[in-house]
């Protein structure tokens, strides 16, 4: 499975602003040339950006650079729909050198950093309010002004993290990005099932030996370490938010051997699944 390329149609507009309301976010692991700013208004689950995975919750705010693969997977379905505001724009949407002008130096630096994906951690009421205004604004001129105001406000948030910084992703050529995107899409969409090193290697036409060296070079992890990171992170969420048995959670997380699930879980968290669940309850 490849990371899906999403072709966005802006029509007569220079950028897109959309609200999504779904029972579960349905977009697959995908990428597009446009920058993307996403605000989660309602919903809980996992956010996947490149080789990075993290929980998301209401208020989650992320800026993604061009062609950085991503998706939001709803893991806790509630009566309330999963909702988000998404702004998508190309760097040349207002002219090829618009963001390179001296007056927009701060915003330009922000866009460069977004090549790794930026998660804004600080409370961002001003940004959220402007994004909500932008999503309902009808006047095209006012929408453009609000977009610049949103980006300007983001430059002042100092409490943030770069999501994909452990990888050498941003230095890759477009062809190399497409190769690693293919592998990450295979993991994201299949880690709860049986995953095959041979299939992952074949998906980008490499031998298993060459693939293992390639994957470690790009992600700083072995292939099985990356897969197990996804599986254990999924398992911790299930232990906290469901009443499923530990055995069922192990199988649901992609482990076909429960003793291996216990061993891997303890290696990652330094406690057993049962201890993890009890500690959270306390």
CA 190 to chain centre: 16
Would you say residue 113 has pLDDT above 60?
A: yes
What does CATH list as the number for 191-281?
1.10.10.60
What percent of the chain clears pLDDT 90, i.e. is strictly above it?
64
Asked if residue 1 has pLDDT above 60, the reply is: no
Note the pLDDT tens digit of each residue in 239-268.
Answer: 988 889 999 999 999 999 999 999 999 999
pLDDT at 144 over 90: yes
- pLDDT at position 8 is 77
Give the mean model confidence (pLDDT) for residues 68-73.
Answer: 91
- What pLDDT does residue 64 have? 96
pLDDT band at 22 (very low <50, low <70, confident <90, very high): very high
**Separation between Cα atoms, residue 256 and residue 250, nearest integer Å:** 8
Model pLDDT, residue 282: 64
Of the pLDDT bands very low, low, confident and very high (cuts 50, 70, 90), residue 168 is low
Mean pLDDT to the nearest integer, 59-80: 88
Q: Of the ranges 39-43, 57-61, 78-82, which one carries the lowest mean pLDDT score? A: 78-82
CATH topology classification for 4-162: Jelly Rolls (2.60.120)
Q: Which of 76, 59, 81, 73 is nearest to 28 (CA)?
A: 73
Average pLDDT over the chain, rounded to an integer: 90
Question: Is the pLDDT at 42 greater than 70, yes or no?
Answer: yes
User: What pLDDT sits at residue 37?
Assistant: 97
Residue 83 zone, left/alpha/beta (φ > 0; ψ -120 to 50; rest) = beta
User: Mean pLDDT, to the nearest integer, of 103-132?
Assistant: 92
User: Is the pLDDT reported for residue 167 higher than 80?
Assistant: no
Which pLDDT band holds residue 170 (cuts at 50, 70, 90)?
low
8 A C-beta contact, residue 172 and residue 214? no
Spatial CA neighbour of 109 closest among 145, 67, 63: 63
Q: At what angle do helices 174-190 and 223-241 cross, to 10 degrees?
A: 40
Using alpha carbons only, how large is the chain's radius of gyration in Å? 20
Please report, for the chain, the start and end positions of each structural domain, with discontinuous segments joined by +.
4-162, 191-281
pLDDT computed for residue 3 by the predictor: 59
Q: Please give the pLDDT value at position 146.
A: 96
Q: How far apart are CA 164 and CA 116, in angstroms?
A: 5
């Amino acid at each position: 499975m490849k990371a899906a390329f999403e072709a966005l149609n802006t029509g007569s507009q220079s950028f897109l602003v959309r609200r999504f309301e779904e029972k579960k976010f349905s977009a697959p692991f995908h990428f597009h040339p446009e920058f993307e700013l996403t605000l989660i208004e309602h919903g809980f689950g996992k956010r996947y950006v490149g080789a990075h995975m993290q929980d998301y919750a209401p208020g989650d705010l992320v800026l993604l650079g061009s062609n950085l693969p991503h998706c939001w997977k709803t893991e806790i379905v509630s009566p309330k729909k999963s909702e988000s505001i998404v702004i998508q724009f190309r760097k040349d949407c207002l002219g090829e050198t618009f963001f390179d002008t001296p007056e927009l130096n701060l915003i330009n630096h922000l866009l460069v950093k977004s090549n790794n994906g930026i998660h804004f951690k600080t409370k961002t009421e001003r940004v959220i309010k402007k994004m909500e205004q932008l999503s309902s604004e009808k006047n095209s001129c006012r929408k453009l002004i609000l977009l610049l105001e949103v980006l300007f406000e983001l430059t002042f948030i100092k409490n943030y993290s770069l999501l994909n910084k452990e990888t050498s992703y941003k230095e890759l050529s477009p062809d190399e990005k497409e190769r690693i995107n293919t592998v990450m899409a295979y993991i994201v969409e299949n880690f709860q099932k049986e995953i095959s090193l041979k299939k992952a290697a074949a998906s980008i036409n490499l031998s298993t030996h060459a693939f293992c060296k390639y994957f470690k070079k790009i992600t700083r992890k072995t292939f099985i370490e990356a897969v197990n990171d996804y599986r254990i992170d999924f398992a911790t969420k299930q232990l906290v938010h469901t009443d499923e048995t530990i055995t069922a959670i192990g199988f649901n997380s992609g482990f076909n051997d429960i003793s291996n699930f216990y061993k891997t879980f303890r290696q990652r968290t330094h406690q057993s699944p049962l201890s993890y669940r009890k500690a959270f309850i306390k």
